[in-house]
Amino acid sequence: MDHFQLRDGVLHAEDVPLPRIADEVGTPVYVYSRATLTRHARVFRDALGELDNPHIAFAVKSNPNLAVLKVLANEGYGADVVSGGELTRALKAGMKPEDIVFSGVGKTHAELLQGLEAGIGQFNIESEEEGYELAAIAERHGKRAACALRVNPDVDARTHEKISTGKRENKFGVPLDRAAEIYARLAEEDGLDMRGVAVHIGSQLGDLEPLETAFGKLGALIAELRAQGCTVTHADLGGGLGVPYKAGETLPAPTEYGAMVARVTKDWDVRLMFEPGRVIAGNAGVLLTRVIRSKRSGNGPPFMVVDAAMNDLARPAMYGAWHDFAAVAPSGDRMTAHIVGPICETGDTFAMDRECDALVAGDLAVFRTAGAYGATMASSYNSRGFVAEVLVDGDKYAVVADRIAASAIMDAERVPEWLA
């Protein structure tokens, strides 16, 4: 069920009319639905119902807002983090250290130490070099780090090239054909408790087949490791499940994913771990914006300039991504427009030749499916400041991230005296 629905002709987030949020908080603003987050968390967990006690770690990178993390912590979710900053957030939101997985190719010395001191559940080691560095830090501090080795299965995930992570030429993980020897060597380290393997082939996957291929390869690796005497008790299958961005688009349902996983892993005898991000948060948020003005463009459709821009929602500019765009109070009339932001780059374009609700200056509209990889990828380009975020729960809402004004960012800058 969609918690962003028209009621009496006005788009609501749960029971809150969006114009109320626009008036009270201003635009642009991200609006999240707690009910959707909770529902998605439960749907995903239920889809894994055939498995024995799966560990689900929300990919914090997809939406690191503390309130969003708290909603998921309340649902028993752990966290998949990729930086010291994300680790700090996950802990602050109440996630248990043992439920936190630390991924990423470039964990620094300080971040490895931070993870060890926090007592996190698992490091997903992405290279032999990282393994030795972690082992040395752990030994020096009298600790033992629980680890999985992330492998690169060389599988084409059939998604956008910039978010594909499982091809040999991508920077992630260790090559599959070297994984067994690296695992065995790292297992010799006193500072490491090599307990598992991990894989994540990419994001916004619309097809289960590449995932199944990658999981099949991981299963063969587990068998090979055990045959050579290594212990494997955990397997982390990453995230990646895609979500519909266009009305009417169909993607594999979590239940189909869960059934495939159960089938492929039935003889693995490990605890399975998952790192979903987008499938939990994507459709739990919209970016609420106001039309600044429409500008005629020769004989073509008008440019509809909205007050959100590529610095607030980078996905269209970065990946050519589609976000459905709809009026908050649709009149029923339609128009075709180029939907653009105010930033001084042609790339600041949300959509060209988009057929959409007819809108005029001052009207409110939303970009849908903006709950994942939205606010978290914002910048302050063109000195526009950082966009605000709101969480709705029934008929109430809270500002869960203040708008950061360009002036506040400027306060952190200095002109050295020697320039005077």
Interacting residue ranges for ligand LYS, rule: CB under 6 A: 61, 163, 203-204, 315, 319, 373
Binding-site member from 195, 200, 217, 290 for ligand PLP (CB under 6 A): 200
Residue 271 annotated as lining a ligand binding site: no
- Picked from ligand PLP, ligand LYS, none, the partner binding residue 103 (CB below 5 to 8 A depending on kind) is ligand PLP
Smallest gap from Cβ 318 to ligand PLP, in A, equals: 14
Question: Which of 36, 122, 152, 203 touches ligand PLP by CB under 6 A?
Answer: 203
Tokens (6 digits) for 163: 């978010």
Tell me the C-alpha distance between 288 and 277, whole Å: 21
77 makes contact, choosing from ligand PLP, ligand LYS, none, with CB < 5 to 8 Å by partner type, with: none
164 neighbors 109 (Cβ within 8 angstroms): no
The partner in contact with residue 153, picked from ligand PLP, ligand LYS, none with C-beta cut-offs of 5 to 8 angstroms by kind, is none
| 153 near ligand PLP (CB under 6 A) | no
Question: 294 or 376, CB closer to ligand PLP?
Answer: 376
From 147, 230, 344, 356, the catalytic residue: 344
By the rule CB under 6 A, 54 interacts with ligand PLP: no
Q: Has 219 been labeled as part of a binding site?
A: no
In Å, what is the CA distance from 88 to each residue of 66, 91, 98, 115, 395? 10, 5, 14, 10, 31
Task: Give the residue, chosen from 115, 131, 239, 330, that forms a contact with ligand PLP under the rule CB under 6 A.
Answer: 239
373 assigned binding-site residue: yes
Our measurement of the distance from residue 378's CA atom to the centroid of its chain's CA atoms, rounded to an integer in Å, reads 13
User: Least distance (Å) from ligand PLP to the CB of residue 17?
Assistant: 30
344 is catalytic: yes
Close Cβ partners of 118 (under 8 Å, ≥ 6 residues apart): 87, 91, 97, 100
> Is 276 known as a binding-site position?
yes
| Beta carbons of 238 and 201 less than 8 angstroms apart | yes
* 278 touches ligand PLP (CB under 6 A): yes
Backbone dihedral angles phi then psi of residue 316, each to the nearest 5 degrees: -60, -45
Q: Which of residues 343-382 bind ligand PLP (CB under 6 A)?
A: 372
Q: Strand 325-327 to strand 364-367: parallel, antiparallel, or no bridges (unpaired)?
A: antiparallel
CA angle 232, 234, 235 (to 5 degrees): 105
Residues contributing to the site for ligand PLP (CB under 6 A): 59, 62, 80, 103, 165, 200, 203, 238-241, 275-279, 372
> Annotated active-site positions, please?
344
